[in-house]
């Protein structure tokens, strides 16, 4: 048996390929939308991808099942409760897909979503009775369990799904042998859970001992635990969950349409017509000079998540990137189903060398300088764009909390008669926030370079909401 985990850090997403060397057959579970890595791996190992499974209709990314169907001829498998526009094989409890010395057996494990399944992986050369591993999707993570509140917009209450999740964990997964390896669909940083470990593999026995949500408790207590204090989900989650059930265009077709260079005058015309100009360079580069009115979401951070949070999926997007990174910028938007890229600025910011009148800058202040300005007679309004949970740990005294995902709707709360000074944890989100405010006409916006981490490194004091 060939078994390989593929991990995509920017989405904290894990996918898997399971192959049988004797028959040259492989299956992919929960693929990302750009599927070249699976096709390359299969070719290197003389495998043909004939099967593709989704453990559920994912909300945080668009899966690559249609891409593997069209490019490799793979058959699609979903949980028996799933509904989709494309042809698929429904898998109920005990459904088996076997090829060579590999057996994949489905367990219905609803809770994160109604149609969720887990997949038992048997290496028949080792044992036909005990699974080598279980691919748990978003039902069970390392250190956490799937949140049950992401289907509220589709008519499912968090309480009802939480009850199903409890039953799935206790009747389907916890009875598995302690040695069974646990391979989830997400790791630390994913918004599909609350406290997911940075580890990407565990065992049933280890999770039974260490996972807070698997400790002895009543179903009522479990539901209260897993529905409380969940991070707010980005608005594109419902869109992606629905899109994963649709017969949609594939990523390669979208990129054929999107990856075209645009002259500066065309970009300006699109911007004037309502297009969103997305600058994917790093915050430091953006601050030095950028096209006025553009939004900065750097490729080094949680680019897709924040793009899906602050951009409108209906309006065209024009990309400004460092030359050579235009394709990456578009592909990573495509991973969350944002196929509305109109093109990219030809030659990037170099095309603006002779047009300084079209550029703007953002002041990024060192922490000591920011502290001096805050202590001056005319201090700026200091805005903390981190999450409420982060702020509970520590914050800069005198700052107000406006999380980045709420900034656009709360912009009317901001003063127009004094400067604004933004900070986050390290400077990534504050750059996004500053660009959004500049786009909305705020002309006295600055950031603390390095965020609260730099503030503390400079031995400047912070306060704790808990204290």
Active-site residue set:
424
What helix, strand, coil percent values describe the chain, rounded to 5? 35, 25, 45
CA distance 426 to 10: 17
**Of 209, 194, 79, residue with least CA distance to 135:** 79
CA distance 361 to 269: 21
Give 314's contacts (C-beta < 8 A, 6+ positions apart).
340
Q: Which phi and psi angles does 395 have, rounded to 5°?
A: -160, 165
**Which two tokens mark 361?**
């800058």
CA distance 81 to 181: 26
How far does Cα 160 stand from its chain's mean position? 25
**Of 337, 314, 331, residue with least CA distance to 239:** 337
One-letter-per-residue 3-state SS of 23-70: CCEEEEECCECCCHHHHHHHHHCCCEEEEEECCCCCCCCCECHHHHHH
Give 324's contacts (C-beta < 8 A, 6+ positions apart).
none
* Residue 68, Ramachandran bin (φ over 0: left; ψ between -120 and 50: alpha; else beta): alpha
Place of tokens 């207590």: 221
Q: Which phi and psi angles does 11 have, rounded to 5°?
A: -110, 5
Give 295's contacts (C-beta < 8 A, 6+ positions apart).
276, 277, 278, 279, 310, 311, 432, 435, 436, 439
User: Is there a contact between 136 and 184 (Cβ–Cβ < 8 Å)?
Assistant: yes
* Pairing mode of beta strands 381-384, 400-401: parallel
CA distance 411 to 440: 9
């Amino acid at each position: 048996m060939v078994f390989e985990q593929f991990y995509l850090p920017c989405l904290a997403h894990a996918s898997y390929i399971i192959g049988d060397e004797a028959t040259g057959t492989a299956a992919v579970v929960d693929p990302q939308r750009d599927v070249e890595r699976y096709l390359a791996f299969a070719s290197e190992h003389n495998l043909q991808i004939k099967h593709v499974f989704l453990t559920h209709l994912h909300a945080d990314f668009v899966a690559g099942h249609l891409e593997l169907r069209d490019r490799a001829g793979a058959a699609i498998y979903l949980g028996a409760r799933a509904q989709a526009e494309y042809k698929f094989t429904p898998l109920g409890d005990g459904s088996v897909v076997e090829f060579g010395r590999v057996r994949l057996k489905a367990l219905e494990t609803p809770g994160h979503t109604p149609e969720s399944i887990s997949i038992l992986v048997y290496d028949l050369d080792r044992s036909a009775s005990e699974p080598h591993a279980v691919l748990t999707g978003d039902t069970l993570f390392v250190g956490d369990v799937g949140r049950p509140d992401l289907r509220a917009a589709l008519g499912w209450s968090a309480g009802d799904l939480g009850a199903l999740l409890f039953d799935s964990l206790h009747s389907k997964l916890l009875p598995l042998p302690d040695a069974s390896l646990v391979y989830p669909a997400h790791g630390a940083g994913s918004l599909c859970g609350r406290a997911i470990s940075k580890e990407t593999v565990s065992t049933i026995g280890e999770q039974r001992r260490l996972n807070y949500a698997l400790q002895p408790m009543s179903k009522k207590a479990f539901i209260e635990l897993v529905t409380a204090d969940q991070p707010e989900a980005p608005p594109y989650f419902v869109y992606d969950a629905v899109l994963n059930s649709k017969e949609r265009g594939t990523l390669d077709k979208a990129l054929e349409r999107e990856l075209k260079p645009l002259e500066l005058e065309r970009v300006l015309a699109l911007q004037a017509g309502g297009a969103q100009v997305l600058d994917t360079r790093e915050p430091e580069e953006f601050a030095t000079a950028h096209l006025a009115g553009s939004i900065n979401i750097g490729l080094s951070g949680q680019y897709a998540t924040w793009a899906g949070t602050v951009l409108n999926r209906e309006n065209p997007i024009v990309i400004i990137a460092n030359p050579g990174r235009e394709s990456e910028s578009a592909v990573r938007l495509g991973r969350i189903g944002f196929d509305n890229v109109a093109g990219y600025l030809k030659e990037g910011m170099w095309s603006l060398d002779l047009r300084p009148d079209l550029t703007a800058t953002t002041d990024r202040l060192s922490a000591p300088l920011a502290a001096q300005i805050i202590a001056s007679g005319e201090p700026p309004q200091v805005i903390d764009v981190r999450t409420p949970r982060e702020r509970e740990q520590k914050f800069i005294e005198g700052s107000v909390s406006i999380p980045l995902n709420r900034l656009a709707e709360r912009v009317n709360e901001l003063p127009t008669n004094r400067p604004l000074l933004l900070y986050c944890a390290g400077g990534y989100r504050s750059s996004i926030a500053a660009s959004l405010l500049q786009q909305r006409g705020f002309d006295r916006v600055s950031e603390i370079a390095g965020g609260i981490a730099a503030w503390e490194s400079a031995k400047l004091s912070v306060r704790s909401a808990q204290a």
